[in-house]
Amino acid sequence: MGALWIAHVTVTDADAYGKYAELAGPAIAKHGGEFIARGGRFVQLEGKERPRNVVAKFPDVDAAVACYHSPEYQEALSHARGASERELMVVETSE
């Protein structure tokens, strides 16, 4: 089964977060991830609103979790910490 990596983000330091984004894309692609939504229009119906929302599709939950724990993604994430407020989850799809 596939998996979706869903991030809700408020950027607090655009320069540092830009470095995260530059490094995160290749790390996600290396683990089979493909962006299907990246900061586009959204409508918040419930919960805390975050102005940036990103969804990436992975082959499965294990691939998404492996990506998160990979050295490449952790290097990217080091630039996001302190530069953003985030929630990130991986959800298994029914396909």
Return the DSSP state at 82: T
Does residue 83 surpass a pLDDT of 80? yes
Domains of the chain: 3-92 (3.30.70.100)
Helices 71-80 & 61-69 angle (0-180, nearest 10): 70
* Angstrom distances, CA of residue 13 to CA of 19, 28, 80: 10, 22, 9
Residue pair 8/53 in contact (Cβ under 8 Å)? The answer is yes
Does residue 7 surpass a pLDDT of 90? yes
Sequence-ordered list of residues with C-beta below 8 angstroms from that of 13, at least 6 positions apart, any chain: 82, 83, 84
Residue pair 3/61 in contact (Cβ under 8 Å)? The answer is yes
Q: What is the pLDDT of residues 39-53, one digit of tens each?
A: 889 999 999 999 999
Mean pLDDT for the stretch of residues 87-93: 97
Mean pLDDT for the stretch of residues 55-68: 98
pLDDT at 39: 85
